[in-house]
Amino acid sequence: MPELPEVEVTRRCVAPLFEGRQIAQLRTTRDSYFFRTKPRALQRRLKQRTVQKLTRRGKYLIASLDDGSTLVLHLGMTGQLFGEGVSSPRLLSATARASLDPEKQESFKPDAHTHLQFEFADGGPRVFFRDVRKFGKVHWLAPDQEDPRLAKLGPDALKITGRQLARSLSSRKTPIKSLLLDQSVLAGVGNIYADEALFHAGIDPRRAGADLKAEECQALVKAVRRVLRRSIQTGGSSISDYINPDGADGQFQDERCVYGLTGQPCSQCQSPIQRLRQGQRSTHYCPACQI
């Protein structure tokens, strides 16, 4: 599932293909739950609009259009947003991929899962939104309209300050691990990054949010930023992974200290990494380093 780093890597890749270009036409698949704005309306609203800026909030991508309206894109579980001409063998099934040698892998052709095809007035490369499982979403917003999901989001995980975090944790008895995953506290932290950040900050995942001291909130936002930035960097160097439907987190996987490493010795103290259930999720931590 794309997490903040993958969404940010996607944004950096496709922003140059969107920004400053006028949309000539949008092709879509038939109406489905992917479309929070109906295909017809979407086609009408986007025709001849110029994309001014592509930004990100949490895991949402937001295209600002020249008439003041916005287009909100969410990659969901398997969404892929990419430009034409990307040679992407990972878009093919494993068997199809195995039967092709690298030189013969053609660039992507829109298929039945390609829900959005942006065509531009300059006739240059198109941009595709493909989503096999359709958990992704597209939503057009009028200039004065607000997306209720966006309105509920807390500060972006890369931008939140220690003080902001301390304030929103101040009366919470919920374990800090669960609060890190709460998108209204901070937007964009998934399970792997929450576990890794708590390890780097030396904080026990079971502690109540309100129990964290100001210095600990400071250390935690720094750790969150560190793991996210590092993942963005490695995601940038293994760019094809972000369009991999089964994809994990690129090379960041190799740099994990606790996530998915139950029973292995901690890199700092050699104690075995422990696993526990919190809410519906697994938490991995070092009982000696995290207090």
Residues found near Zn ion in the complex (CB under 5 A): 266, 268-269, 271, 286, 288-289
The candidate with the shortest Cα–Cα distance to 17, out of 63, 48, 57, 58, is: 63
For the question of residue 222 being annotated catalytic, the response is no
From 2, 5, 155, 205, active-site residue = 2
Q: How far apart are CA 235 and CA 252, in angstroms?
A: 7
From 27, 226, 230, 281, active-site residue = 281
**Which CB, 23 or 176, lies closer to Zn ion?**
176
**Shortest Å, Cβ 197 to Zn ion:** 15
Q: How far apart are CA 10 and CA 2, in angstroms?
A: 10
**Which CB, 27 or 226, lies closer to Zn ion?**
226
Query: DSSP letter at 287?
Result: T
**Which CB, 32 or 271, lies closer to Zn ion?**
271
| 258 Cβ contact list (under 8 Å, min separation 6) | 195, 196, 199, 266, 273, 284, 285, 286
Cβ 205 vs Cβ 290: under 8 Å: yes
Encoding tokens for residue 155? 């500060």
Give the chain's end-to-end CA distance (angstroms, integer).
Answer: 30
**Shortest Å, Cβ 65 to Zn ion:** 50
**Shortest Å, Cβ 181 to Zn ion:** 22
**Shortest Å, Cβ 9 to Zn ion:** 30
For the question of residue 103 being annotated catalytic, the response is no
Which secondary structure element, helix H or strand E, spans residue 206, and what is its range? none
For the question of residue 149 being annotated catalytic, the response is no
From 11, 45, 56, 59, active-site residue = 59
**Shortest Å, Cβ 16 to Zn ion:** 42
Residue nearest to Zn ion (CB): 266
Amino acid letter for position 179: L
**Shortest Å, Cβ 218 to Zn ion:** 21
**Which CB, 32 or 268, lies closer to Zn ion?**
268
From residue 66, alpha-carbon distances to 52, 63, 179, 191, 266 in Å are 6, 10, 37, 37, 52
Cβ 285 vs Cβ 266: under 8 Å: no
The candidate with the shortest Cα–Cα distance to 197, out of 216, 222, 224, 219, is: 224
For the question of residue 229 being annotated catalytic, the response is no
Catalytic residues, by residue number, are: 2-3, 59, 281
